[in-house]
Chain A
Amino acid sequence: MITWLLEPLHHAFMVKALGVSTLVGCVCAVLSCFLTLKGWALMGDAVSHAVLPGVVLAYWLGLPFALGAFVFGLMAVTLIGFIQQQTRVKEDTVIGLVFTGFFALGLVLLSKTASSVDLMHILFGNVLGISDRDLWQTVIVSLITLITIALLHRDLILFCFDPTHARTIGLNTTLLSYLLLALLSLSTVAALQTVGIILVVAMLITPGATAYLLSDRFGIMVLIALAMGGLGSLLGTYISYYLDVSTGGCIVVLQTVIFLLAMIFAPKHGLLAKARSPLS
């Protein structure tokens, strides 16, 4: 077991990959608690796909990916809001329409510039080959996200739970809503290298959903999600090393399995617990 854990650490690329995966797993896990409680899973999916053209343009212009992703993430959200207000089309339809449109635009731009290898890396992640520049970008973006949430978590919880009350006591709910979306765009960029754009949403939903089944206290929910996101990413990276398979795929499959186990065995909200107490 010890050798199993230590052997990959002889390779510098594995040390980086394990560190980045774990960090990104933790960042996404914290955010996932807010997204699942707010009911924004679909929004997470949308924003994570919609950042693609921004990432490509940033690559063209030599700007940080995070900046491009941030701008396009917010553009997508604004467009979703605009279409919804101005037409009779329903919300989930508008979200699906806008994010696939943005994603397709990203694919077009990407196919014009990059090799098919780059394309695969952006879509499915390439944490084993992460460059030092991308590593630092991921670390900085992760820290910004974590610090912002640590400082403002009480406002964000209130915003998710009861936006009406938040407004009556003078909180700017529009700003909080955009803040949460901005954090979403940033963490998408952070997770880009690890699991790729397609699977980011899993990291942004699964830990929160699992923790939600396991706790009725927000603080504990975040800790469970953190443990799951961090450990899931760490173990997933190890497994992908030994099986020589996709890292992003491994991490997400592992997290999904943990979710299924929680769904069955959770002490209070699990299927077994419910079967045992038919009254509730």
Chain B
Amino acid sequence: MISSPAIDLQDVTVAYHHHLALHGVTLQLPAGTICGVVGMNGAGKSTLFKAIMGFVKLIRGQVRIHGLPRQQVQRQSLVAYVPQSEDVDWQFPLRIWDVVMMGRYGKMNWLRQPTARDRQRVRESLEQVELWPLRHRQIGELSGGQKKRMFLARAFAQEAQVLLLDEPFAGVDVKTEKLMIDLLMAEREKGHTILISTHDLASMTTFCDQVVLVNRGILAYGRTSEVFTPENLSRAFEGSLRIPRRCD
């Protein structure tokens, strides 16, 4: 059996209100890759994520995750999404434990009654991100970095094959950033695939295997060192980015 790529987009095209958000995106990522998705605000990073999660109607093309179509990907909880902090209602009356347990819902019966195994996985995930002692806190009582780690723990509890992280390092202290990068690299070792969307270039180069430059379509993708050329970056950011001149 030939193993399918973890993420396989063929000619994916998405439009909102007669306006092309993504045009002809073809992209294949093998399992066990960390891939940065870099582009300006409005360049289509979140549309790309939505296409991978199967949330948007495609005008053209198809999406396969580990060779499977949308329904099966969702039924098996293969993809996990770590949201931006601004998109979350932090006043919601939930504890850290409750949110991480939500990662297990896809694996439970329809009444969502947690088994011993579910509790075990939630505990392990919370210990991994070093939030176990805070599990009874209301979610709004966490710091910026702890909030990110909570959603990372939910993705771990979900046992997803593909992790999508939206601006994971925004408002995060250096110590948390290091912990998160270590955790993501450990996920990569397990053969999981991680996509990180960001407009912060500096943080990407150190640990991303691949980079995708997005501007309504894919401008370039491949190994980080090959993609991050002045010409590519200038096209991705439409000249709004100052690139340090290289000394030849």
Within 8 A of B (CB), among A170-203: 170-171
Q: Are B93 and A216 in contact (CB under 8 A)?
A: yes
- Give the nearest-CB partner of B95 in chain A: A217
CA of A157 to CA of B112, assembled, Å:
12
Please choose the segment from B3-11, B74-82, B176-184, B203-211 that sits at the chain A interface, where 4 or more of its residues have CB less than 8 A away.
Answer: B74-82
Indicate with 1 or 0, residue by residue over A143-155, a CB within 8 angstroms of chain B CB atoms. Answer: 0000000010011
Q: Are B94 and A168 in contact (CB under 8 A)?
A: no
**Contacts of A220 on B, CB cut-off 8 Å?**
93
| A136 part of interface (Cβ distance < 8 Å) | no
Least Cβ–Cβ distance between A84 and chain B, in angstroms: 13
Within 8 A of A (CB), among B46-97: 53-55, 71, 74-77, 79-81, 83, 87-89, 92-95
| A70 part of interface (Cβ distance < 8 Å) | no
Within 8 A of B (CB), among A220-264: 220-221
**Contacts of B75 on A, CB cut-off 8 Å?**
170
Q: Are A158 and B83 in contact (CB under 8 A)?
A: no
In the complex with contacts A151-B111, A155-B112, A164-B83, A169-B93 CB distance below 8 A: no
**Contacts of B140 on A, CB cut-off 8 Å?**
216
> What is the number of residues of chain B that contact chain A, defined by CB distance less than 8 Å?
31
Q: Which of B77, B93, B94, B103 contacts A170 (CB 8 A)?
A: B77
CA of A217 to CA of B94, assembled, Å:
6
| B224 part of interface (Cβ distance < 8 Å) | no
Q: Tell me which of A161, A164, A168, A216 has the highest count of chain B C-beta atoms within 10 A of its own C-beta.
A: A168
- Give the nearest-CB partner of B75 in chain A: A170
CA of A221 to CA of B91, assembled, Å:
13
Least Cβ–Cβ distance between B153 and chain A, in angstroms: 13
Q: Are A162 and B105 in contact (CB under 8 A)?
A: no
| B128 part of interface (Cβ distance < 8 Å) | no
Q: Are A165 and B81 in contact (CB under 8 A)?
A: yes
Chain A: number of interface residues, binned into ranges: 20 to 34
- Give the nearest-CB partner of B102 in chain A: A158
Q: Are A154 and B92 in contact (CB under 8 A)?
A: no
**Contacts of B13 on A, CB cut-off 8 Å?**
none
CA of A168 to CA of B81, assembled, Å:
8
Least Cβ–Cβ distance between A215 and chain B, in angstroms: 6
Q: Are A170 and B138 in contact (CB under 8 A)?
A: no
Q: Are B106 and A215 in contact (CB under 8 A)?
A: no
Q: Are B74 and A169 in contact (CB under 8 A)?
A: yes
In the complex with contacts A168-B74, A218-B93, A162-B79 CB distance below 8 A: no
**Contacts of A212 on B, CB cut-off 8 Å?**
93
| B158 part of interface (Cβ distance < 8 Å) | yes
| B216 part of interface (Cβ distance < 8 Å) | no
| B45 part of interface (Cβ distance < 8 Å) | no
Least Cβ–Cβ distance between B49 and chain A, in angstroms: 10
CA of A167 to CA of B77, assembled, Å:
9
Least Cβ–Cβ distance between B32 and chain A, in angstroms: 21
**Contacts of A158 on B, CB cut-off 8 Å?**
102, 105
- Give the nearest-CB partner of B82 in chain A: A165
| A41 part of interface (Cβ distance < 8 Å) | no
Q: Which of A170, A215, A216 contacts B74 (CB 8 A)?
A: A170
| B154 part of interface (Cβ distance < 8 Å) | yes
Within 8 A of B (CB), among A123-166: 151, 154-155, 157-158, 160-162, 164-165
- Give the nearest-CB partner of A38 in chain B: B89
CA of A37 to CA of B92, assembled, Å:
7
Within 8 A of A (CB), among B194-230: none
- Give the nearest-CB partner of B83 in chain A: A164
Least Cβ–Cβ distance between B113 and chain A, in angstroms: 9
Q: Are B94 and A165 in contact (CB under 8 A)?
A: no
**Given pairs A216-B138, A217-B95, 16 additional interface contacts (CB within 8 A):** A37-B93, A154-B111, A154-B112, A155-B105, A161-B89, A161-B99, A164-B53, A164-B55, A167-B55, A168-B53, A168-B77, A168-B79, A169-B103, A170-B71, A170-B74, A171-B106
Which chain A residues have a beta carbon within 8 Å of chain B's beta carbons?
Answer: 37, 151, 154-155, 157-158, 160-162, 164-165, 167-171, 212, 215-218, 220-221
Question: What are 16 A-B interface contacts by the 8 Å CB criterion?
Answer: A151-B111, A154-B111, A158-B102, A162-B83, A164-B81, A168-B80, A169-B74, A169-B106, A169-B158, A170-B74, A170-B106, A171-B106, A215-B93, A217-B93, A218-B98, A221-B93
